Amino acid sequence: MYVSPIREPLIKGNKDYSQVTKDILAPMAGTPSKYWYMGMTIAGAAALFGAWASFMTVFYGIGTWGTNKTIGWAWDITNFVWWVGIGHAGTFISAILLLFRQKWRTSINRSAEAMTLIAIACAGFFPLIHMGRLLLGFFIFPYPNTRALWVNFNSPLLWDVFAISTYFAVSLVFWYVGLIPDIGTVRDKAKDKIRKAIYGFLSFGWTGSAKHWSRHETISLILAGLAAPLVLSVHTIVSFDFATSVIPGWHTTIFPPYFVSGAIFSGFAMVLTLLIVTRKALHLEDYITVNHVESMNKIIILTGSIVGIAYLTEFFMAWYSGVEYETYAFFNRAFGPYAWAYWIMMTCNVITPQLFWFKKIRTNLVATFIISIFVNIGMWFERFVIVVTSLHRDYLPSSWTMYKPTIVEVGLYVGTLGLFFTLFLLFIRVFPVIAIAEIKSVLKSSGEHQKHADHE
Amino acid sequence: MNKYITAYYNDEEDLLKGIKQLKSKGIDVADVMTPFPVHGLDKALGFRRSRLTRVAFIGGAIGGLTGFLFQAWVFTKAYPLNFGGKPFFAVPSFIPVTFEMTVLFAAFSMVIAFFIRSNIGPGAKTIIHDERSTDDRFLLVVDIQEDEEVKQVEKALAEAGALGIQFKA
């Protein structure tokens, strides 16, 4: 077999197949470390704060929020778009990079996909809670009812319902189908009976039969082929929520590609934030190497630059269109009362990712971690700027106003962050964080030991 | 329960070579259990291309048609509503839901077909011949029709470099 002598191995250390199994299953065994408990405590406390805020919203109503007649959408939709965007990285890694035959994805796809599912769950919470009356949430689905009335299929908000629920369902299936062989491994390595029974049930009776593997390969490829346009469609439809309206600053055709690249940009930042900590805490440095981090940083430069160009294009078009309202909306963004938010967005999203052009920075884990946090903050502010600055000064100057979040809204946001980290911490204890079978299938062509053996 | 012999290899390349050798001697390999998908194994065992892709296509077509026709029915027949004078049969605005339904149906029909066809599912009971076949062993199963065959197959397996040859009845 030909092995490129220049390419660095994807998996470090002299590993054979059983060593791979042992290394990846190690974090699931025994009792969790004290750092895990610490993380769980903080995340759980944040989730409880969110539970309190949800209670306040449901019990007293939307009046507990800082939104008003002019600014009807604020943190809720900002958080929704932010979380959906974060989810995109997982599907991008597992579907689009699979279609492009990027072998380095095997080390990170499992945890990124889990992150996707958790992020979509966090995102889905906001449209539900912003209805105020949660018990009427089922109204968004077309079901036969006594009023003989159907939902409005012309509305982007309804498209969102279909897009997000399909995205969640398909991502879940994709993730679980990939997980089945590894659950089989967990089952066969389990020592005690209860553990064996639970994982035996979850493994769907996986044996690793050649025919099953052959089918598994086929459906993984087709699912990737389905998930790739799906992930692009989801943020496109999310951007339609804004783009199909007639609000200056929202009504632009650039939104779909701009939102999709922004989503992948923020998603990769979140993957990096999580994995830089996870690899260290779970001792998976041999599997998630600096090369992986560097590859992800390169995608961050690309998508970050697309986002930067989109910001400039918007500005140019606002001037070039000659539309008074459009021009004012953008002038107001950069120099109005919310200019601070705009410049935080510009700094975090356009300037900081450009630092990754330096090899020293993109291969430095601490620097990457810090920049990934900056990108997360910047992308949150991007949505805040789009939503709030476009609304707060509308066509009627008499209704111009400002928006400030209340403690309840802060609680809802912090609550989803808490939920996100709680579920992620549970995930790393319950399922293997790296796709064991996929790592084994690239071990011969990309493992360190195997590579060297070929050259001797 | 039929009778069979299991044996294993420690490396996928030895496994492929072994299967070739057994085939040349006219011994059929009933099943192979591997910890990961081995390239070239499909060919060695003479598998045909999976037809699950067709299931996905048909499922997707059903989903897409259902989504599109349902929306068209709602807006032209069941409850036509005038949205700012726009056409009732507004094809472009039906596309997002149609697309999502296509993907949803294609994915689910294919995965469900995979589970049914492979006889696996939540809590399915299957025989695990060797607990290391999901770890680092490449397991081979050869079915035995008559007892006289056992010696001959065992000898062929040993010659093909297989380890841990076991006869199970």
Report the gap between the CA of A440 and the closest CA in chain B (Å): 7
Give the mutation candidate from A106, A154, A244 for the B interface (greatest B CB count, under 10 A). A154
Provide the residue type at B18 as one letter. Answer: G
Give the mutation candidate from A219, A237, A434, A454 for the B interface (greatest B CB count, under 10 A). A219
Q: Which among B50, B86, B132 is the nearest to A218, CB-wise?
A: B50
Contact A222 B103 (CB under 8 A): no
Q: Which among B71, B86, B107 is the nearest to A170, CB-wise?
A: B107
Give the mutation candidate from B58, B71, B101, B103 for the A interface (greatest A CB count, under 10 A). B103
Tens-binned pLDDT, residue by residue, of chain A (456 aa): 565 666 677 887 778 888 888 888 888 887 888 889 999 999 999 999 999 999 999 999 889 999 988 998 889 999 999 999 999 988 888 888 888 888 888 888 899 999 999 999 999 999 999 888 888 888 888 888 888 888 888 889 999 999 999 999 999 999 999 999 999 999 888 888 898 889 989 989 888 888 899 999 999 999 999 999 999 999 999 999 999 988 888 988 899 999 999 999 999 999 999 999 988 888 888 888 888 899 899 999 999 999 999 999 999 999 998 999 999 999 999 999 999 999 999 999 999 999 999 999 999 999 999 999 999 999 999 999 999 999 999 888 899 999 999 999 999 999 999 999 999 999 999 999 998 888 888 887 766 655 555 544
ipTM of the complex: 0.91
Chain B hits for A16, CB-CB cut-off 8 Å, are: 136
pLDDT of residue A447: 65
pLDDT of residue A427: 92
**Residue linked to tokens 């992948």:** A264
Chain B hits for A198, CB-CB cut-off 8 Å, are: none
Report the gap between the CA of A343 and the closest CA in chain B (Å): 34
Contact B97 A205 (CB under 8 A): no
How do beta strands B3-9 and B31-33 pair? unpaired
**Residue linked to tokens 């209340």:** A406
Terminal alpha carbon distance of chain A: 14
Give me A90's structure tokens: 């997982």
Q: Which among A16, A153, A219 is the nearest to B74, CB-wise?
A: A153
Contact A205 B83 (CB under 8 A): no
Name the closest residue on chain A to residue B112, using Cα atoms: A173
Q: How far apart are CA B135 and CA A61, in angstroms?
A: 54
Residues lower than pLDDT 70 in chain B: 1, 169
pTM flag (> 0.95): no
Report the gap between the CA of B159 and the closest CA in chain A (Å): 23
Q: How far apart are CA B163 and CA B161, in angstroms?
A: 7
Report the gap between the CA of A346 and the closest CA in chain B (Å): 32
Chain B hits for A229, CB-CB cut-off 8 Å, are: 99, 103
pLDDT of residue B73: 93
Contact B103 A170 (CB under 8 A): yes
CB A296 within 8 A of CB A105: no
Give me B2's structure tokens: 């039929």
Contact A214 B83 (CB under 8 A): no
Name the closest residue on chain A to residue B29, using Cα atoms: A210
- Inter-axis angle of helices A156-189 and B91-117, to 10 degrees? 20
Chain A hits for B138, CB-CB cut-off 8 Å, are: none
Q: Which among A211, A218, A230 is the nearest to B53, CB-wise?
A: A218
Give the mutation candidate from A215, A217, A240, A449 for the B interface (greatest B CB count, under 10 A). A215
Chain A hits for B90, CB-CB cut-off 8 Å, are: 154
Closest by CA position to A126, among listed A379, A411, A422, A427: A411
pLDDT of residue A398: 92
Q: How far apart are CA A183 and CA A221, in angstroms?
A: 20
Provide the residue type at A126 as one letter. Answer: F
Name the closest residue on chain A to residue B132, using Cα atoms: A188
Q: How far apart are CA A264 and CA A302, in angstroms?
A: 10
Q: Which among B86, B125, B135 is the nearest to A18, CB-wise?
A: B135
Instruction: Provide φ and ψ at A454, rounded to 5°.
Output: -70, -25
Beta-bridge partners for B141? B6, B31
Contact A210 B47 (CB under 8 A): yes
Chain B hits for A170, CB-CB cut-off 8 Å, are: 103-104, 107
Provide the residue type at A264 as one letter. Answer: I
Q: Sheet containing B138-144: which strands, arranged edge to edge?
A: B31-33, B138-144, B3-9, B163-168
CB A355 within 8 A of CB A305: no
Q: How far apart are CA A450 and CA A45, in angstroms?
A: 46
Contact A219 B111 (CB under 8 A): yes
Chain B hits for A440, CB-CB cut-off 8 Å, are: 35-36
CB A413 within 8 A of CB A47: no
| Three-class SS state of B107 | helix
Name the closest residue on chain B to residue A154, using Cα atoms: B93
In whole angstroms, how far apart are CA B88 and each of A148, A157, B99?
17, 19, 19
| Three-class SS state of B163 | strand
CA A220 to chain centre: 20
Name the closest residue on chain B to residue A233, using Cα atoms: B96
